[in-house]
Amino acid sequence: MDLRFTHEEIAFRDEVRDFLHREIPADIRRRVADGRHPSKEDIVTCHRILNARGWAVPHWPTEWGGQTWSPMFHYILQEGIQRASVIPPLAFNVSMVGPVIATFGNAAQKRQFLPATANIDIWWCQGFSEPGAGSDLASLRTRAERDGDHYVVNGQKTWTTLAQHADWIFCLVRTNREAKKQEGISFLLIDMKTPGITVRPLITIDGAHEVNEVFFDDVRVPAENLVGEENKGWNYAKFLLSNERVGIARVGLSKERLARARQLARETQVGDGTLWDDADFRKRLAMIEVQLKALEITQMRVVANASKRASDKPDPASSILKISGSELQQATTELLKDIAGPYALPMEDAHEGSNEPPVGPEWAAMTAPVYFNNRKVTIYGGSNEIQRNIIAKAFLGL
């Protein structure tokens, strides 16, 4: 398989790089590069700039804003966004609920939700994990009972990212408690302004308000907000999670961090020289770079094979990308933290306006928060232990 870019792909890569550096505000890209949590306004700004260009939802059907691109063009855009330190389009909208509605939703749902979702006029959050159902998601207990033209929802979701900003939440709910646990789940769209919904913040170890608990107390949801068939939600969830896992690899992001680590190592004084003069450090960086190149080739193979698969069937190879990609993200954040050395110890709050000024170089202040925040990437989207089980079953027949 020839994985070299064609002349057209190289031209598109250059177009992406030029557009992102010209149109995305430099102050936003600088905050992203420093590892700061973006504000809601920053996320919306980047999302809408990309959507106006036709680049927010290129993988959607063309009637809803998609592009007739090859899989490699999609890959080039994704990597370009990551390498330019641009906030990507909101994943809950463009990579999760949007493709589910486009694939399994009815005509009315597509008309109501897809244009607004593409332009982030609706901000979505994901209601999957629960206190007793994380990696074993099929054990979820939030229930939805039919009452005439409505479902009545009761239960709790947790680790709900950016729910404090969300207009709607897409939820997995149990609609049949007698069926096998994977077969009694439905996919429901819920307006966050509905009475009975409570959002409570969870402050993470880096000091940020990124995730939340969401409680449902007799929340009445119109039955027309059911996506697809009742009790078939597990199939839609597997489709959604497969899309999420491919994106979690974030090859471009890890490339950018490695490039930054190389530059900082050349500038960091150690004794009579720099950190770059340390052979052990260069060996460590080279090992990460080799692993990253292997991941990139694997992802390009997955992308190249994407057009050969049924659009509604999850690709088990996405589990390989998820495992390797998430572990490399952790390795690159650890590398940057170690370059900062003792300057990483007085950990700066992840929010703008920290109470304490950075000690040492300003770039070092965020290395510890970013390192701690990236502990989660091997868990969300399905823990890496679960991904290994998927690989064992899909490829090894175990």
Q: Which one, of 212, 120, 87, lies nearest residue 162 by Cα?
A: 212
> How would CATH label the architecture of 124-232?
Beta Barrel (2.40)
- pLDDT at position 319, please? 83
Q: Which one, of 385, 387, 350, 115, lies nearest residue 238 by Cα?
A: 387
- pLDDT at position 355, please? 42
Residue matched to tokens 């973006």: 38
- pLDDT at position 28, please? 97
Q: Which residues are catalytic?
A: 244
Give the three-state DSSP class for 121: coil
Residue matched to tokens 């990609």: 325
For 40, the enclosing helix (H) or strand (E) is helix 40-53
CA 164 to chain CA centroid, nearest Å: 17
- pLDDT at position 130, please? 95
| Number of residues that this document lists for the chain | 398
CATH superfamily of 249-394: Butyryl-CoA Dehydrogenase, subunit A, domain 3 (1.20.140.10)
User: Can you give the pTM of this predicted structure?
Assistant: 0.86
- pLDDT at position 306, please? 63
Contact (Cβ atoms closer than 8 angstroms) between residue 35 and residue 372: no
Which residues of the chain does CATH 2.40.110.10 include? 124-232
Q: Which one, of 321, 325, 362, 357, lies nearest residue 340 by Cα?
A: 362
Contact (Cβ atoms closer than 8 angstroms) between residue 12 and residue 73: yes
Phi and psi of 356, rounded to 5°?
A: -115, 135
Q: List pLDDT tens digits, range 97-143.
A: 999 999 999 999 999 999 999 999 999 999 999 998 887 888 999 99
CA distances from 84 to 75, 76, 171, 262 (A): 14, 12, 33, 17
Which residues of the chain does CATH 1.20.140.10 include? 249-394
Give the three-state DSSP class for 218: strand
| Widest Cα–Cα separation across the chain | 77
**Residues of the chain below pLDDT 70:** 1-3, 242-247, 306-315, 346-358, 398
Alpha carbon distance 249, 295 (integer Å): 8
Tokens (6 digits) for 292: 């990253």
Alpha carbon distance 320, 329 (integer Å): 14
Give the three-state DSSP class for 333: helix
